[in-house]
Amino acid sequence: MFAMPGVGWLLLFFVVSVYAVMAVAFGAVDPILRTPIPAWNPLQWNARAMSSVLHRVFGGDLGTVFVRTFWFVGLSLLGCILIGYPVAYFVARKAGKYRGLVLGMLVLPFWISYLMRMMAWTNLLAPDGMVNNVLHFLHLQGPQRYWLDGNWYTVVIGLVYGYVPFFILPLYSTLERIDGRLIEAGRDLGASSAQTFLRVTLPLSVPGLMAASVITILPMFGDYYTNTYLTSGSPKTEMIGNQIERYLLGTSQPQTGASLVLILMAFLFVLMAYYLYTTIRQQRLADR
């Protein structure tokens, strides 16, 4: 009974939505208006579009985009870990009376629309923008750097910037709950600060690290506007989200876009399943 709202939510906003996407992916297109005609009855499903997309993903042009997207997301996750972990650790264990203030500052960027923040980056990274000016002032850069010319690292910077708060907050929550006595015990038993961190804090924070990673990479995989804004549509940095957007909003082949959504979901489901498996396993180990 208590689960009914959750079940209702899942049915409405996940199961039915996914089924609608499937009905489009395996449906047809209005020959005049080029709008999708969904096939709600699975017996009427036509796998032509899905088959064509799978062919292009495994060995064709879309495969390149998938691989590139995985690289971008992987590197961005690495960036989030390198930046986010120390920040979360500081807030949870060292910030003391300033914890509320720092947490508030971490949430502050959410007050501004994501698109606005990306547009701000286009100004900061412009050839005569503040980033180049600062690098030049510090003598860290020779010739003027064109950050917005379709560079992979600009997209990764954008993704890290955009999603790192999503990484920090769940990780902070885990780090903050670690029993301080365990860390003290580690030090009392002769471990150095580094050893205590590596043998006590880090293992205990793995569930938070996993949760933060999942929460961060799921939206990153579907992101398309970061790339659009920061590279002005360079083919060198096209992500799978750009292809999905194009096929769904700008072509006569919405089934192709819907098929890409399903394939991406299948990839993400594998990651999600691994996350659930490790979480349950750790929970069982902890319960023993």
Partner 1 sequence: MTSSRRDFLARSVQLGALVGVGVPILQACGSGSTSAGKRQTKTIADGLQPEKGPLRILNYDAYVNPDVIKDFEAKFGVKVEITTFTTDTEALTKLASGAVKVDLHHSMAATSINRLIDGGLLQPLNKSYLSNSANVVSKLQDPWYDKGSTYSVPYTYFGTGIGYRADKIDKATVEQQGWDALWKATSHKGKVSVLDDEREALIMAMLRKGVTDINTVDPTIINQAQADLSELINLVSVKVNIDAYKNLPDGTAEICHTWSSDLINAANGYLPTGAEPTILGYWHPPAGKYMVTNDSMGVLANAEHPVLAHLYLNFLLDNAVAEKNFTFTGYLPALTKLDADYVVGKGLVPENLRNCVPTKDEIDQAIYERPLTTDGDALYEAAWSKFTAGG
Residues contributing to the site for partner 1 (CB under 8 A)? 12-13, 16-17, 20-21, 23-24, 27, 29-38, 40, 61-62, 64-65, 68, 126-127, 146, 148-150, 231-236, 238, 242-243, 246-254, 257-258
Q: How far is the CB of 68 from partner 1 (least distance, A)?
A: 7
Q: How far is the CB of 91 from partner 1 (least distance, A)?
A: 36
Q: How far is the CB of 27 from partner 1 (least distance, A)?
A: 7
Distance CA 208, CA 89 (A): 11
| C-beta closer to partner 1: residue 123 or 283 | 123
Question: Would you say 231 and 237 are in contact if contact means Cβ atoms under 8 Å apart?
Answer: yes
Q: How far is the CB of 50 from partner 1 (least distance, A)?
A: 15
| C-beta closer to partner 1: residue 85 or 229 | 229
The three-state secondary structure class of 15 is helix
Q: Which two tokens stand for residue 10?
A: 């899942």
| C-beta closer to partner 1: residue 79 or 257 | 257
| C-beta closer to partner 1: residue 135 or 211 | 135
Q: How far is the CB of 22 from partner 1 (least distance, A)?
A: 10
Residue 215, C-beta contacts closer than 8 angstroms, at least 6 positions apart: 166, 167, 170
Q: How far is the CB of 30 from partner 1 (least distance, A)?
A: 7
Question: Would you say 15 and 2 are in contact if contact means Cβ atoms under 8 Å apart?
Answer: no
Q: How far is the CB of 77 from partner 1 (least distance, A)?
A: 22
Question: Would you say 93 and 196 are in contact if contact means Cβ atoms under 8 Å apart?
Answer: no
Residue type, 122: T
| C-beta closer to partner 1: residue 154 or 196 | 154
| C-beta closer to partner 1: residue 40 or 277 | 40
Question: Would you say 275 and 210 are in contact if contact means Cβ atoms under 8 Å apart?
Answer: yes
| C-beta closer to partner 1: residue 9 or 274 | 9
